[in-house]
Each structure stands twice: as structure tokens, then as C-alpha cells.
Chain A
């Protein structure tokens, strides 16, 4: 459908522009805001792919929770615009190499898939209905229960760690 294509193109432009803006912005609050916009655009991509559940979780978790905490830290530390720190000497070549590897890998995957005649299509739009949300939950809590629990324990450890680090010692100070 052409209207979908137009929406997709405009959105990709916005996504790329906000990603670039995030990297190049001198003020870290603006960077954070660009990143929020980027997350929201990605959420709209999920909507286009017929996955409203993932789209909404993307907005709630990334744009709504994580980025607000980022903004908090930036504002509380007063780190809006620090003087440019001296770059690490090995950082630039390493980043460049890794970027090249990523591009080569992506191109290889796309070309090899195209040769095998497998088109890269959107997932089935039937994700759209509530039943498959139920299906998702079923899968998550039966087949993938162990990874799910491990992830939640990881988050719990992070939480406990944060509390331990910020807690004042008893009797001290």
C-alpha cells in the first residue's frame, strides 16, 4: 500500500534525523529529548507492523520510564553541557572498525537472504488481536519461563544493588 510506504519513509527520516541529533547535540538534555523522539518513532514503526502491544510497551518503558530517569540524572548532576572531555586514543579506531563490521554483516545478511528468495516481510498482522497477546503471554510463561525469570532476577539484583549503594551505613556519618 502506498500510504503505508509514505508513512514509513517519513518516519524513517524522522528516526534518522533524531538519532543524528542525539549524537551531535552539544547539550545532553537535548540529546536525551532527541532519543525520546527516536523511541516514539520506533514505537510507531511497531504499530505499522501490527504490534500495538510492543509499541505501547516501548513508549511506556523506554520513553516514559527510562528516559525520564536519564533526564533526572542529567538535571540533578547539572551535566547539561560539560566541556568536551578528552577522547580516549583507542576509541575512534575501535568505533570505526566495529561500525564497518556491522555494516558488512547487515549487507551480507540482506544480500544472502535476497538470493535465497526469502523476502524480509512484516510479521503476521494477526498479532493484532487479543488472542495472540494471550499467546505471547502463554509462550513467555511456559516455554520461555527460565529466561524470563533470569531476566527478572537480573533486574532485582540491579535494584538491590542500587539500594545498597545509596544506603547510609548504620552509625556512620
Chain B
């Protein structure tokens, strides 16, 4: 094999890691500023213009903080757990296409690291591996609160993984491929979020639970569990958990954008104009970044406005509402595609969004009635 290929891979990997690390730092700034704006505060604005140097100041602080290792922890695993949490959040980004390709000194450089033909499965398997860091952190801390926090959040992640997998299935069916590049290409004319809006919504809800964000931030239920699985961690080890959480947010938004919102491609109505990715390759990453920033804003917005869900309701929501709903959605999608193909009638294809929205509404009515009955029963 040519050594330049190795060089290209290593460079691309390094650049991606750097982008994610910087993204993490500035996501904390973005979140704090956005939260402050929503709560009519100012937010960090002292370090640098608009507080832009705040993440650097935070990093310096965390590096120089004293690092405690409690006496009775299982030391090997205690040290390994933060690493096991960070690594999946970095390597999962390897298959996400950031853009098309460009020529560089006569070489064709593609804007993704790996063009895996089972890309979606890769995402699923890395997402399922990501649980380990949290479970092990909770267990090795030798602390009941940490243990309960770890078990809670991993039970939550496993439960919501089922719906996540079914949402992957929807995207695979619509894209007719497991390759993320082909899925993005299939969305040239129409985003999958338009064809399967309920699927995209379920995916966004499930990803919130997968990255343990509000309103599903069980490990951070301070009033019940102190700090959950990272209660015993301090200094840089804590920073690694923090980093993993925010990197997962970024990566999961990239995945959502890729699977349902057209990935690096332009809006469909901009096709063939000067704003098309086919014209200028560098627009690809720009469009992806735009979509990720918008999706991240939704995550922050939800955190600012919604209270945390009670744990039993969270599990009931995952198993009794989201799982049946996503099963039905996958079924509707598959049937619609098959009927449209066999009978050669686009009408069936447009039955998919209509039927799935109806199903989502049924689920909403179910939750509403259930909650009302419960609250009436208690009074």
C-alpha cells in the first residue's frame, strides 16, 4: 500500500479529533451563553470578547485541579472508565461523511475517514459499546450513589437503543443502503425527515436519552444521586466524562443530520445553483456545521425549558411508547416503499408521512390520557 494513503488517513483522523475537541470546548461556551440568554442572564463574558476564551480558562483550571483517587476504588477500572467513555465518542465519527471530495495536488481527497458499507451498523455497534464506560465508572467507584447512577443511566441507554436501532432501520430502508454516503446521496431531492417526520422526531428524542441529556439526564439527578456515576471523579478524569458527553452531543447531531436532514448536502431547492455542494466542495462541511448547530440549539433549548422526567416514567416512555411507535413506523416505511415499487404508484409513497404522523399523534394522545388518568387517580 502507498504510504501517502496512510498519511492521508492519519491526517484526516487527527483533524477530525481536533475538530471534535474544539467543538467540545466551544459547545460548552455555546450552551452557557444560550442558556443564559433564555434565562435572561448574560452568561460568561469576562474572558475574551463575548467570553470566547472561557473554554480555554476552564481547561487550564481543570488541568491544575487536584486529582483525587479514593482509597477503596478498583483502581485499574477506575482509571480505565473515563477513557472507555471518551474513545467511542471520538471513533463513532469516523464513518460520518463531512462532505464530498476535492482535488489536492492531483490527489482526490474524500471528506470522510472510512467509507464503510455497513456504516449504519458501525454506528449502532459503537453506540452499544459506549455503555461500558458509564457502568464501569459507577461500579469501580465503590460508592452506592455512583453505582446507582451508573446502573440507571446504562439501563436507560440500553432501553432507548432499541428504538434507536429501529430509527436506523427507517433510514436504511429509505436510503436503500447501509452506507452513509449513499444515504446522504439518496436525500439529494428530499430529506428523509420530510418523508418520515415522525421517525426523525423519535430519533431526536432517543438520541437525547442516549447521550443522557435533559430531560433524560438521570445520572445528573443531583437531588437523588449527588452526581451519579462520576461522583468520585475529579480533575482531568472528570473532565474526560464531561468531554465525552459534549462530544457525544456533537456526534449524535451529526448522525441525525446525516440520516434525516440531508447530511452535508444543500437544501434540495438549492440544487444546481451556485450554492450546491457539487459546485464547491467546501460548502459540504459548512452545511453540515449549520445543521449541527441548529440541532444542538434544540438540545440546549430543551434543557433550558423542560424539567427532568421521573425515572419510572422515563422507562415506561421508552418501552411502552417509543418502542411500539418506532416498530410501527419501520413497518409503515417498509410497506410504503414496497407498495410504491410494486404498484408503481407514488401515492403509496406519500402514505408514509401521513400514516406516520397519525401514529405519532395516537402515541401523544395515549400519553396524555395516561397522565391525566394518573393525576386524577391520585387526587
Q: A interface vs B, CB < 8 Å? A: 29, 33, 36, 52-53, 56-57, 59-60, 63-65, 68, 71-72, 75-76, 128-130, 133
Contacts and interface: CB of A to CB of B under 8 A. Distances in A.
Interface stretch (B116-124, B291-299, B358-366): B116-124
Contacts of A65: 128, 158
Given A52-B118, A56-B124, A68 B139 contact: no
Label chain A's interface by main secondary structure.
helix
A55 to B, nearest CB: 8
Given A56-B125, A59-B125, A130-B179, A68 B117 contact: no
20 contacts: A29-B74, A29-B77, A36-B132, A52-B118, A53-B121, A56-B118, A56-B121, A56-B124, A57-B121, A59-B128, A60-B128, A63-B128, A63-B129, A64-B128, A65-B128, A65-B158, A68-B154, A72-B154, A76-B151, A128-B117
A36 B154 CA distance: 16
Contact of A60 (B125, B136, B154): B125
Contacts of A33: 77, 136
Given A60-B121, A129-B117, 16 more contacts: A52-B121, A56-B122, A56-B124, A56-B125, A57-B125, A60-B124, A60-B125, A60-B128, A63-B128, A64-B125, A64-B131, A68-B128, A68-B154, A68-B158, A71-B139, A76-B151
Given A56-B125, A60-B124, A133 B139 contact: no
Given A52-B118, A53-B118, A56-B122, A75 B128 contact: no
A36 B132 CA distance: 10
A133 B121 CA distance: 12
- Looking at A36, A60, A63, A128, which has the most chain B CB atoms within 10 Å of its CB? A60
- Looking at B124, B125, B132, which has the most chain A CB atoms within 10 Å of its CB? B125
A133 B136 CA distance: 35
Contacts of B122: 56
A60 B92 CA distance: 13
A29 B142 CA distance: 13
A156 B140 CA distance: 34
Contact of A72 (B128, B151, B179): B151
A79 B74 CA distance: 15
A76 B138 CA distance: 12
Given A56-B118, A68-B132, A71-B135, A133 B125 contact: no
A75 B139 CA distance: 7
Given A56-B122, A130-B177, A64 B129 contact: yes
A53 B177 CA distance: 13
Interface in B278-316: none
Interface string B99-135: 0000000000000000011100110110111011001
A75 B151 contact: yes
Contacts of B117: 52, 128-130, 133
B178 interface: yes
A36 B129 CA distance: 10
Nearest to A54: B118
Contacts of A53: 118, 121
Contacts of B136: 33
B147 interface: yes
A65 B136 CA distance: 15
Contacts of A63: 125, 128-129
